[in-house]
Amino acid sequence: MSPELPDNVAVTKLDELVNWCRKNSLWPMPFATACCGIELMATGASRHDIARFGAEVFRFSPRQCDLMIVAGRVVMKMLPVLQRIWQQMHEPKWCISMGACASTGGVFDTYCVVQGIDRFIPVDMYVPGCPPRPEQLIQAIIDLQEKIQREGTIAGREFETLKYVQTKRALQE
Amino acid sequence: MTTSQTISELKKAFPALEFSEFRGETRAVAPVESLFDVLKDLKERLDFDMLVDITCVDYLRYPGAKDRFGLVYLLANTETAERITIRAFVNDPQPAVPSAVSLWEGANWLEREVWDMFGIRFEGHPDPRRILLPDEFTAFPLRKDYPLQGRGERHNFPVLTRAESG
């Protein structure tokens, strides 16, 4: 026997609902240390407008954020600050490494520049480019939303996101 | 006073100075022992009231160089728009020169920067700490015998993983 439901009621999993809420209200923490920060500002401004993806509320307090966008090179004196801010953010939290310098150190292969922040904090999405266009950052946010949608306590599939996204892009092309 | 008058005044007071000129810029090489007296004379008698910069050059493996480090003091007289460069050469071990903070307050951070990058000690400096690099840094990275990619300082941090970063 199946119960009768009115037309405006949908049945879903709690995980799916929570993830849907989370992915559409990302609050970025701008950790902008170099020229990528300018592109990050452009992404937040009216022309590119990441409000379309629910991520427009830039907060400068780590307690109010759930998405850290590291934009620019991180030097060894800045890294303890970065780690402290990352630890101050509440779970659930994600991290986007924006640009070549944050991801690998870029051209700054010198004694004081950290060669990729993923050596010291977890990173969810890498954005290539020097600096990346706002469209690339928006694509990273869209892909991150896909990843968040597939997270879960029992049937988490966020690590299959890459395969899923690649298939989707291949179909689009 | 013009630059030529300044030079003759300096020559009279300090016969050990070696003068040279390149593209209209006057340089004088001072022995380390009389460096402070030369700077003091320039400040107090010849009115070089502005210290533009203090920096350093490492001449390790430089063709024809006799000394390891060459300090550069750029001075200016804001009344007559004269400029002069004072140089002094120091060597390992323990390269040291007297501090110029008592003459120009602005020398404070400039000397700290030279100490930070080249390890040249400024004797009598009121606050001889590193200025740019972290306090626990031990090397002097602008020396030519320091490798460009460092000695692993940039990787010497704790790693935060997903599980323990909450």
pLDDT 10s digits, B14-49? 888 888 888 888 899 999 989 999 999 999 988 899
* DSSP calls for B96-151: EEE--TTT-TTHHHHHHHHHHHH--EEET-S----SSS-TT--S-TTSTTS-TTTT
Look at residue B59 in the predicted model and tell me its pLDDT: 92
| pLDDT (mean) for A133-156 | 86
Q: What rounded mean pLDDT belongs to chain A? A: 88
> B residues 81-120 near A, CB within 8 Å?
none
Look at residue B1 in the predicted model and tell me its pLDDT: 65
Spatial contact of A141 and A126, defined as CB atoms under 8 Å apart: no
Q: What is the CATH number of the domain that holds A168?
A: 3.40.50.12280
| pLDDT (mean) for A120-128 | 92
pLDDT band at A154 (very low <50, low <70, confident <90, very high): low
CATH superfamily, domain at B3-155: NADH:ubiquinone oxidoreductase Nqo5 subunit (3.30.460.80)
Give me the domain span that covers residue A140.
14-172
Is A4 part of any domain?
no
Look at residue B164 in the predicted model and tell me its pLDDT: 66
Compute the nearest-CA separation of B1 from chain A (Å): 46
Helices (H) and strands (E) in chain B, counts: 3, 7
Judged against a pLDDT cut of 90, whether residue B75 lies above it is answered with yes
Is A162 part of any domain?
yes
Judged against a pLDDT cut of 80, whether residue A16 lies above it is answered with yes
Query: Three-state DSSP class for B20?
Result: strand
Half-sphere exposure of A138 (CA within 13 A, CB side): 17
Give the N- to C-terminal CA distance of chain A in Å, as an integer: 45
Q: How far is the C-alpha of B70 from the C-alpha of B27, rounded, in Å?
A: 13
CA nearest B155 in A: which residue?
A: A114
**Sequence-separated (6 or more) residues with CB below 8 Å from residue B103:** B39, B40, B43, B44, B51
Query: Three-state DSSP class for A71?
Result: strand
CA nearest B159 in A: which residue?
A: A120
Collect all residues of chain A within an 8 Å Cβ-Cβ radius of residue B158.
Answer: 83, 120
Collect all residues of chain A within an 8 Å Cβ-Cβ radius of residue B161.
Answer: 122
Judged against a pLDDT cut of 90, whether residue A1 lies above it is answered with no
Check residue B27 and give left, alpha or beta (phi > 0: left; psi -120 to 50: alpha).
Answer: beta
Residue contact A86–B160, C-beta within 8 A: yes
Task: Please report, rounded to a whole number, the percentage of residues in chain B having pLDDT higher than 90.
Answer: 49
* B144 at A interface, C-beta within 8 A: no
Nearest to A65 by CA among A38, A82, A86: A86
The partner residues of A95 in beta bridges, in order of sequence, read: A68
| Angle separating helix axes A134-149 and A161-172, nearest 10 degrees | 120
Judged against a pLDDT cut of 60, whether residue A131 lies above it is answered with yes
Look up the pTM and report it. 0.83
Judged against a pLDDT cut of 90, whether residue B152 lies above it is answered with no
CA nearest B135 in A: which residue?
A: A77
Judged against a pLDDT cut of 80, whether residue A160 lies above it is answered with no
Judged against a pLDDT cut of 60, whether residue B166 lies above it is answered with no
The amino acid sitting at B104 is W
Look at residue A10 in the predicted model and tell me its pLDDT: 79
Half-sphere exposure of A131 (CA within 13 A, CB side): 23
Residues in chain A, overall count: 173
Residue contact A112–B159, C-beta within 8 A: no
Judged against a pLDDT cut of 90, whether residue B98 lies above it is answered with yes
User: How are beta strands B82-90 and B69-77 bridged, if at all?
Assistant: antiparallel
Spatial contact of A88 and B129, defined as CB atoms under 8 Å apart: no
Is A2 part of any domain?
no
Is A8 part of any domain?
no
Is A3 part of any domain?
no
Please state, as a whole number, how many other Cβ atoms lie within 10 Å of the Cβ of residue A118: 18
ipTM here: 0.79
Spatial contact of A150 and A141, defined as CB atoms under 8 Å apart: no
Residue contact B160–A77, C-beta within 8 A: no
Question: For an interface test with A, which of B140, B157, B159 has the most A Cβ atoms less than 10 Å from its Cβ?
Answer: B157
* B152 at A interface, C-beta within 8 A: no
**Sequence-separated (6 or more) residues with CB below 8 Å from residue A172:** none
Q: What rounded mean pLDDT belongs to chain B? A: 89
Q: How far is the C-alpha of B164 from the C-alpha of B166, rounded, in Å?
A: 6
Task: Please report, rounded to a whole number, the percentage of residues in chain A having pLDDT higher than 90.
Answer: 55
pLDDT band at B165 (very low <50, low <70, confident <90, very high): low
pLDDT band at A134 (very low <50, low <70, confident <90, very high): very high
Look at residue B160 in the predicted model and tell me its pLDDT: 87
Is A9 part of any domain?
no
Look at residue A6 in the predicted model and tell me its pLDDT: 82
Look at residue A155 in the predicted model and tell me its pLDDT: 65
Spatial contact of A14 and A132, defined as CB atoms under 8 Å apart: no
| pLDDT (mean) for A136-148 | 91
